[in-house]
Amino acid sequence: MSTSLRNSSLFIAVRSMCLVLPVSLAFSAVEALSAEASALLSEAVLTEADFLAEIPVARGPTHMDQTLAQTPASVTILDRRTIEASAALGVIDLFRLVPGFQTYFVDGSRMGTTYHALGDEYPRRLEVKVDGRSVYESLFSAVDWSALGVTLDDIEYVEIVRGANASADGSNAFLASINIVTKSPLVDSGWMINSQLGSGYIRNANLAYTGTLGPVSHRTTLSFRSNDGFDDYFGQGQSINIDDSSENVSATFRGLWTPNARDSLEFQAGISDSNLGIGERDYIKRNLSSKYQYVNWNRLMASGSRLQMLLYHNDVNVTDEVTPLFISQALGVPDTSSDWPLPGLADKLVIDESDQAESERWDLELRSIANPLESLRAVTGIAVRHDRVKGQELFDRSDSLSETSHRAYTNLEWSSSDQLVFNGGLIFEKKGSADSYFSYRLASNYQLHPEHVVRVAFNRSFRSPTLLENQQNQVIRYNENIILDASVISDSDINNERLRSVEVGYAGYLFDRRVSFDMRLFREQLTDVINERRSGYPDLDNFVNIRDNTDTFNVDGVEIQTEYKPNNRFLLRAHYSYSDIDGETIYTSPPELEIRDLGVYSLKHGAGLLASYAFDNNVTLSSMASYSSATKHYRGTAAENHTRIDLKALKRWNINNSNIDLSLTVQNAGEPYSEFYFFNQFKTQYVLGLKVSMP
């Protein structure tokens, strides 16, 4: 934050808001709670709001609509009201509201989120979908959140399955799965313009139009996002110049056509282009362009069953701009010197000024949702996926690598009585010439009371290595026969990762469903986890990282989340999580075998709170608090325990059926804290927003 901003009246006003807002929220909360207590003491009277109260429905665990009392897994749903109340500036910020999740910025361009275990610069083992379309890429074995092409204004709700969900979503839903559901073209109409200006050169703008093209309802969006990343670091006797600014432009189209009462056809397309500064101390410029096409056809059968076909295509192109490098520059030794390590060989350019890579995916899935018996519901599906990657620097080859995988699954829900529900899920998967494997889940939900349910669930899941994990060969060559440096090489025989988990859960409602409560006790046993071990290698520095099955560990813990909605004005959400990792990793290979403890990477305590209150004058005040205990980021640096406070104030005007929203968001209204690397200091950010919605 600049000196001029600190001396400005805006800064004084913001600091005043930082002091007044929590106090205002506290008084509002007391007022709302007092009113609620009075209502409970008076005679119970049913109102229209009681009949229209929303009953949360989840689809992610089984692909069939289930109430939270029926689901075989713990689910967090972030609805539109929660998203608007939050102080989030991007999609990644929303996961600070979910128990068990670690959310961080690797640098100003790259964001990461992981569930429970070992989040590195490219978190894996987490399935992420947008409207059912998988957005993790084999090229990175992760999600690039900067190129997602989804803004907060586009989202209707986010559904997070906390726990293994491979039986529904396949092997990458190893620890959890996320589905981001965007707004239907039938929800709104007209134009929406949203712009944000703030610290760190934050410049965001969204333009959306919802309307019709003949029989097709559509929502078309255009967005721009930019920021200057983290400030340069001066501390601990170090001076680090950080060049991690980012810029993204994206456009999306979502159309919906219903030719008759039985059929509906949804089709989407999007493009995105990002210019990113990435790295750790040494930064490069990356251009990432992506595009996708998606079709979702649904047919309602006369029997009440439903058929569904999903087809999508993702395509990503990456270009990294790097400084050209000669061998003599890397070694600091001219080829004329007696210390030249390559006698008889001349100096040579070994790193070009740019490197290109590609990732492409086609996926086709057919699904049937049926109710064969009054007490039995079933989802059955088959799918085929084709992945292709290409990258000289990552794979040491100029041609493409590809693999075709198949999966078939079924999920059953059997209501044996009014109180007891059983869920079972089974998936068969096979990749290329590798062995096939099965993952399954068994769960039982018992209704202690109409508003209180206990759940027991068992999971056995496998995660197969991605193309990058299986085929990485990152080397620098002098020629075909001489390798100067090898950085990462995949072992020739990598096994599937394995997970066994058991959980006991409770879900309940109090005070006429105004309070919801969810608790999950779990143990997760992970074996053959894919990571990197150091080993000797005949290159200039005599070692290489081998990608292999190196890790074995258990995760034990508890998660609690609760929500209080007494009326349309007040919202209170809170969560707490405790997790403990007990395990080890092979750090160096024999003969110098070194085993390291993985417990230091456990985020033992995490907590969050969201409070929001809407006043009569169309002013809404919100506050988000996030706490993380001390931990060490995997492949990052140690981080001290910290509490982050985010604040938001919004004023709305209604003029001729149009809405004008003016907002001020303060992220981290306190001391700086480190994100992933100690030199990434997240300082207080001030963002002013203006949003106009016109019919």
The answer to whether residue 444 is domain-embedded is: no
Q: How confident is the model at residue 678 (pLDDT cuts 50, 70, 90)?
A: very high
The answer to whether residue 406 is domain-embedded is: yes
Closest to 643 in 3D by CA, of 687, 609, 685, 602:
609
Q: How confident is the model at residue 319 (pLDDT cuts 50, 70, 90)?
A: very high
Q: What is the pLDDT of residues 294-318, one digit of tens each?
A: 999 999 998 889 999 999 999 999 9
Q: Are 288 and 276 in contact (CB under 8 A)?
A: yes
- Please determine, for residue 16, whether its predicted confidence score (pLDDT) is greater than 50: no
Coil, helix or strand at residue 96: helix
What gap in Å lies between CA 286 and CA 159, rounded to an integer? 31
Angle at 84 between CA 79 and CA 87, to 5 degrees: 115
Q: Are 467 and 387 in contact (CB under 8 A)?
A: yes
The answer to whether residue 270 is domain-embedded is: yes
What gap in Å lies between CA 9 and CA 474, rounded to an integer? 53
The answer to whether residue 552 is domain-embedded is: yes
The CA-atom distances, in angstroms, between 672 and each of 4, 601, 644 are: 19, 22, 9
Residues above pLDDT 70, as percent of the chain: 92
646/325: higher pLDDT: 646
Give the CATH number for residue 87.
2.40.170.20
Q: How confident is the model at residue 82 (pLDDT cuts 50, 70, 90)?
A: very high
Amino acid found at 536:
G
What gap in Å lies between CA 130 and CA 151, rounded to an integer? 12
The answer to whether residue 279 is domain-embedded is: yes
Range of the domain at 684: 3-321+353-439+453-694
20/261: higher pLDDT: 261
Q: What is the pLDDT of residues 481-497, one digit of tens each?
A: 889 899 999 999 999 99
- Please determine, for residue 34, whether its predicted confidence score (pLDDT) is greater than 50: no
Instruction: Indicate the number of domains in the chain.
Output: 1
Q: How confident is the model at residue 141 (pLDDT cuts 50, 70, 90)?
A: confident
Residues above pLDDT 90, as percent of the chain: 72
Closest to 544 in 3D by CA, of 473, 593, 477:
473
The answer to whether residue 106 is domain-embedded is: yes
Of 83-87, 135-139, 255-259, 614-618, the one with minimum mean pLDDT is 135-139
Coil, helix or strand at residue 632: strand
Q: Are 295 and 310 in contact (CB under 8 A)?
A: yes
Q: How confident is the model at residue 55 (pLDDT cuts 50, 70, 90)?
A: low
CA 333 to chain centre: 45
The answer to whether residue 446 is domain-embedded is: no
Structure tokens at 104: 């961080």
Query: What 8-state DSSP symbol labels residue 435?
Result: P
Predicted pLDDT at 17: 39
> What's the chain's average pLDDT?
89
Q: How confident is the model at residue 336 (pLDDT cuts 50, 70, 90)?
A: confident
What gap in Å lies between CA 334 and CA 328, rounded to an integer? 5
- Please determine, for residue 31, whether its predicted confidence score (pLDDT) is greater than 80: no
The answer to whether residue 447 is domain-embedded is: no
Q: What is the pLDDT of residues 505-554, one digit of tens each?
A: 999 999 989 999 999 999 999 999 999 999 999 888 889 999 999 999 99
How many DSSP H helices and E strands does the chain contain?
8, 42
- Please determine, for residue 28, whether its predicted confidence score (pLDDT) is greater than 80: no
Structure tokens at 513: 């469903």
What gap in Å lies between CA 401 and CA 467, rounded to an integer? 8
Coil, helix or strand at residue 331: helix
Q: Are 135 and 272 in contact (CB under 8 A)?
A: no
Q: How confident is the model at residue 29 (pLDDT cuts 50, 70, 90)?
A: very low
Q: Are 622 and 611 in contact (CB under 8 A)?
A: yes
**pLDDT (average), residues 665-689:** 95
